[in-house]
Structure 1
């Protein structure tokens, strides 16, 4: 049974006041929608179920921040679900990148030829990173090696969130072009 946006907005107000019944009803009405959003991003049913739980924990904790003048309840929920799924994907990508970098830095079973190639790859990567401007280079390192979120970077850099996103997107594009030129 579908609820109107007005009904969902009222449920969020009640959730903000601590109503467990309102939360249960909101979940019943919108879990399918949120699950679908998450599943489209992560493409793994079990992982999507875990993320869905986190999404609704955030709904419970953040319902007081919902502003019906800015968006409908379903839009707010979809945004939370999408961001949670994307954050999960980014964390996974960071783990893969960190593992690869750690493999470059370690591993005793590599031949001397492998070691030379890895050293050369690291040198090329360092050259390409050095071609980025200071703030952008710092942001790329923090985001992809240390796991900072866009929001954390925006706060640390005292810059608007969308500006940080643009910096990272352009920086990664320039980094990719540089690495392709050097065939890394």
Structure 2
């Protein structure tokens, strides 16, 4: 089944189309969720929530506004950020055992590896270092623009402007 037809079937509430969409997108969607949350169990929970949202919101998807994959990743990214900002998640992170801190410090997952897990590395590698850093903080670590501004010691307005420019550059690279 062609992707456009598959998406149309999903929008019409076809459970088989939903199953196929899950098969096609769950692995890369999990990758983006995990790169933000850094907890397998919680990332799996968020993945399920994301696919429920995809099922519920499928009729609102409009191909004129962007690719389906981008729409799915935006839902995943937003759900992940909502989760890490939730009071329950923050409270669960406050009481970590000392062993967890060793794991965090020894985590070798780099920005390049998390980007490559969803197939974007070849595109992001073509960006300037400042764009790589901004995209890392804003999209893969789930920082707000204000938090990114503080972390990079850069004025908030500059972060916003550079973010728009970097995303536009990335869009041009991907479309080529």
Larger radius of gyration: 1
